[in-house]
Structure 1
Amino acid sequence: MSLTLKNKVWALLFFVLIIVVLKSCTPVSEKKTIRVAAAASTQYVLEALIEAYNSKEAVQIEAVISSSGKLTAQIEHGAPIDIFISADTVYPNYLFENGRGAAPPTIYAYGQLVLWTVGTYDLSHGVAVLIDSSIQKIAIADPKTAPYGRLSQAYLKEKNLYKRLEHKLILGESIGQVNQYINTEAVEIGLTAKSVVMAPKLKGTGQFVDLENTSLAQSMLLLKRGKNSTLAVGFYTFLQSTEAQKIFAEYGYSSGF
């Protein structure tokens, strides 16, 4: 082998080695994974949103699902999250005011509180049915950590029913647990998010009725960890798009834009 040919071979090997080293040193923020912390009420719509986004962008999106309050605590304690999708505006505003956000929160949609049962109760008069003696257990999310729980509590108080029904209330740590209680008939009835009962997996299960004047503004926050990731910024921008808003609408949300 001539000296010139040997030099070319060594040059090629050196080039390949450099490429391998550079790939192994790729920053975490540039790897094709986004971590999203999302309120339990958004679990089903988030699955649909991720599917729609992945039809265009090959990005792995890892979802951490829990109550908005618990997710806020995790983020405060340093959980590696790029985007926070809350069931209210309170928690994202709190995190932003405490220096966790890359920019002010954005309202992505308005949710709706509903009364849901898999039983045959007459829901035509709304929460008045909860007084019925045949109803012994009513599920709501924990008001301390779940926005829909806080809204449920406030609604029952507004209707002068909270004190009368307090002994019947079964608290779920999140809307997810409330839905499990209702769907498995561990309780007779419950107050939950419309986005849940409109999901294809649960649509047509039992019956539900909207509770008047219970629209809930819901916002999201691009966290400082996510601002340096073009992937996270891309998905955050998609959630504000017309396409995403159509998907939110299919799950019972009103537009945030």
Structure 2
Amino acid sequence: MKHWFLSLCCLALWPSISAADSFRLAAAANLQAVTQALSQDFSQKTGHQFQTSFGASGKLFAQISHGAPFDVLMSADLKYPQTLLNQGAAIAPLVHYANGVLVLWTQQASIPKDWQAWLQSSAVQKIAIAQPESAPYGREALRILSALPQFPVLKSKLVYGESIAQASQFIATGAAQAGFSAKSIVSNPDQRQSGAWIEIPQSAHQTIAQGAVQTRYGKDNAAAKAFMRYLHSPSAQQILLRYGYLVPQP
């Protein structure tokens, strides 16, 4: 028997439910706050429920590629779901459910208007970002930083979290004086974070288009199919907006 050692933060919802009415969701770390709201609304509307495991999108993708028993992947990009489709490890359609918003966050009282120079200054010793190789938010943060003339100095200040959640923890605890996080984390309506943050303009980086796909493992799971349809619903879109995401235009 294969044993899956997932280095993920796992949230089990309704563990006593029957398999016929449930599915297993692998969700990008930026979704930790919104997933609980989605799960409650989805359950009320359909009677279906699910269990969620969180992690960096790239690590979840690798687990599913190697046969991990997840029924749905909600990634922080479109690349990983599309690759699963190309591999035959998922079934169409790919649902573009949201666009993420990248923010610069600090526990200090404010962020200067010239934040690029501020990051270079002695006031900031460490800058946290998610691991670019496996976390789409980290990929975009590095893209922004590497385009700055200050990057040779900033590069030596970078510290990497395994996921956007871990990078955000570095910022929240002050282990890093600044860093790049997700708006869904800093503006969580259920638990707003301390410190100061600013949105990085969408024009400054590639769109963080987030996609979901039903896996080949879960192809016959009725609850998973219902969830994929639910992600397009006005109710789900309103929840995503409330938690700091942008809803893609049809």
TM-score, normalised with respect to structure 1: 0.84
- Alpha-carbon offset, residue 104 of structure 1: 3.6
The alignment partner of 1:116 has SS state of: strand
- Partner residue in 1 for 2:189: 200
- Partner residue in 2 for 1:151: 140
- Partner residue in 2 for 1:17: none
- Partner residue in 1 for 2:97: 108
Q: Number of matched residues?
A: 229
1:189-228 superposed matches below 5 A: 189-212=178-201, 213=203, 214=205, 215-228=207-220
Kept in 2: contact 1:70–1:145 (CA 8 A): yes
Which of 155, 163, 168 matches 2:157?
A: 168
Structure index of larger Rg: 1
The reply to whether residue 58 of structure 1 matches residue 47 of structure 2 is yes
- Partner residue in 2 for 1:236: 228
The alignment partner of 2:45 has SS state of: coil
Kept in 2: contact 1:126–1:211 (CA 8 A): no
- Partner residue in 2 for 1:251: 243
- Partner residue in 2 for 1:131: 120
Rounded to whole Å, the distance in 1 between the matches of 2:191 and 2:116 is 21
Rounded to whole Å, the distance in 2 between the matches of 1:68 and 1:145 is 6
Kept in 2: contact 1:41–1:175 (CA 8 A): yes
Kept in 1: contact 2:84–2:90 (CA 8 A): yes
Kept in 2: contact 1:92–1:219 (CA 8 A): yes
Rounded to whole Å, the distance in 2 between the matches of 1:201 and 1:119 is 22
Rounded to whole Å, the distance in 2 between the matches of 1:223 and 1:152 is 29
Rounded to whole Å, the distance in 2 between the matches of 1:104 and 1:152 is 29
- Alpha-carbon offset, residue 254 of structure 1: 1.2
What percent identity do the matched residue pairs reach?
39
Which of 114, 119, 130 matches 2:108?
A: 119
- Alpha-carbon offset, residue 236 of structure 1: 1.4
Which string of whole-angstrom CA distances, capped at 9 and with x for unpartnered residues, describes residues 8-50 of structure 1? Answer: xxxxxxxxxxxxxxxxxxxxx9522210000001111111111
Question: Between Structure 1 and Structure 2, which shows a larger proportion of helix residues?
Answer: 1
- Alpha-carbon offset, residue 124 of structure 1: 2.4
- Alpha-carbon offset, residue 201 of structure 1: 4.1
- Partner residue in 2 for 1:183: 172
Kept in 1: contact 2:49–2:223 (CA 8 A): no
Structure 1 segments of 4+ aligned residues over 6 angstroms from their partners: none
Which string of whole-angstrom CA distances, capped at 9 and with x for unpartnered residues, describes residues 180-232 of structure 1? Answer: 11111111111011111121244252111011223311111111222211111
Which of 30, 33, 37 matches 1:44?
A: 33
